[in-house]
Amino acid sequence: MKVSTRSILTASVLLLISCTGKSQKNEKENSGSVETQKPNSNYKPAFEGQTRINAVKTSAPYQVEVLNTDLGRPWGIINLPDGRFLITDKTGYMNVVSSDGKKVSKISGFPKVDSKGQGGMLDVALDPDFKNNNIIYFSFSEPFGEGNLTSVAKGKLSADLKNIADVKVIFRAEPSYDGDKHYGSRLAFDKDGYLFVSTGERSDRITRAYAQKTDNYLGKILKITKDGKPAPGNPFIGKAGYKPEIYAYGVRNPQGMAIDLNGSLWDVEMGPRGGDEINLIQPGKNYGWGDVTYGIEYSGDKVGQGITQKEGTEQPVYYWDPVISPSGVTFYTGNMEEWKGNLFIGCLSGEHINRIVMKDNKVVGEERLLEDRRERFRDVLDGMGGNLYAVTDSGKLYKISKK
């Protein structure tokens, strides 16, 4: 996709907008939650700090730049080893974008996607040995059977990054379903080179029950090898009635997934009306969706029995009501000292980037960044050079850096 001169000029006018927060002696001085709206339900949290935690405010000055305003329909963003970006386009391909956002080139050769609704070309991850093999992994909604499903494929990029070859689908999250929502679909490699894959339960009442069933791949966190086989050590290998690729289950629509600095896996997932969650994902655990939630149906009715706790299910580390519609997430390792180790979340309906401060795996503070931009932030990236990057549904690429 070509970048128009007008788009670059427009973006340049908006560059280097200062976002300095007033210095505070202590973040705790800014008390009260960032959420001021009335919740959808009267459910009570299971423990203190599970929702509406005290607000914090960044004390160090930072700046926001819009590097590009014409990226189409971006969904996922990662860095290439040389600092350029690889950005998926929901329509069904990927772009290589220069580190300054000005040069964009399209990669051809991807399989057909079903881009209706929430589907399309979704997330992307580099092979841990990418520098030597040029292999990438990507997830997409694949037309399959009588509907579509979340699939994971891999392929080799050409040296000039203009084409992908030897594309092979290594995993399909069956059963297929004739719908257009809740594909989940984030990818994350662990330190041992195994691939975590998140899948949604496809949204409809008829498929919701699959999240609690273990003979399928809907509403799951999966762990597979580079060839799509069950990762060694998975919790249900050899257990009757369980798919061996399942790492955890009972999730709704996990559009965000990331590994923290200690190697722990986290997801963020969308609830119905209320009940968006942050979860610490552990092997073999059931995260409750379908049976327990802090949200309600869009109609206003209770979900199931209207319970928020059940024996054998895990509680979310944190939840939101009303929802923020969390999408891509990242743990920050850059050069803003007070942000290090924080979880950053791209929010869709919330139209901001959410900063979550944690201590000992508990949420201790929350901040909303870039609310004034009124953007649906689809993905965020802990990028090279110590900077934070984000892509939006409006086709923009943001850079947030220390001032």
Spatial distance between the Cα atoms of 365 and 369, rounded to a whole number of angstroms: 13
Cβ proximity of 364 and 49 under 8 Å:
yes
Task: List strands edge to edge, sheet with 62-68.
Answer: 17-19, 62-68, 397-402, 388-392, 377-382
Region of 318 (left: φ > 0; alpha: ψ -120 to 50; beta: rest) is beta
The answer to whether residue 182 is catalytic is yes
- Residue from 84, 90, 182, 378 carrying the catalytic annotation: 182
Distance of CA 267 to the CA centre of its chain: 8
Q: Which residues in 133-144 are b (16+ Cβ under 10 Å) and which e?
A: ebbbbbbbbbbb
Q: Which DSSP category does 372 fall into?
A: G
Q: How many CA atoms lie within 13 A of 386 on its CB side?
A: 12
Spatial distance between the Cα atoms of 353 and 380, rounded to a whole number of angstroms: 8
Q: Please report where in the chains the tokens 């090279």 appear, as a residue.
A: 384
Please count the other Cβ atoms lying within 10 Å of the Cβ belonging to residue 199.
30
Spatial distance between the Cα atoms of 254 and 268, rounded to a whole number of angstroms: 6
Q: Is 375 strand, coil or helix? A: coil
In Å, the largest CA–CA distance within the chain is 61
Distance of CA 279 to the CA centre of its chain: 12
Cβ proximity of 363 and 355 under 8 Å:
no
Cβ proximity of 350 and 375 under 8 Å:
no
Q: Which DSSP category does 373 fall into?
A: G
User: Residue 181: CB partners within 8 Å, gap ≥ 6?
Assistant: 117, 118, 200, 202, 203, 204, 253
Residues serving a catalytic function are 182
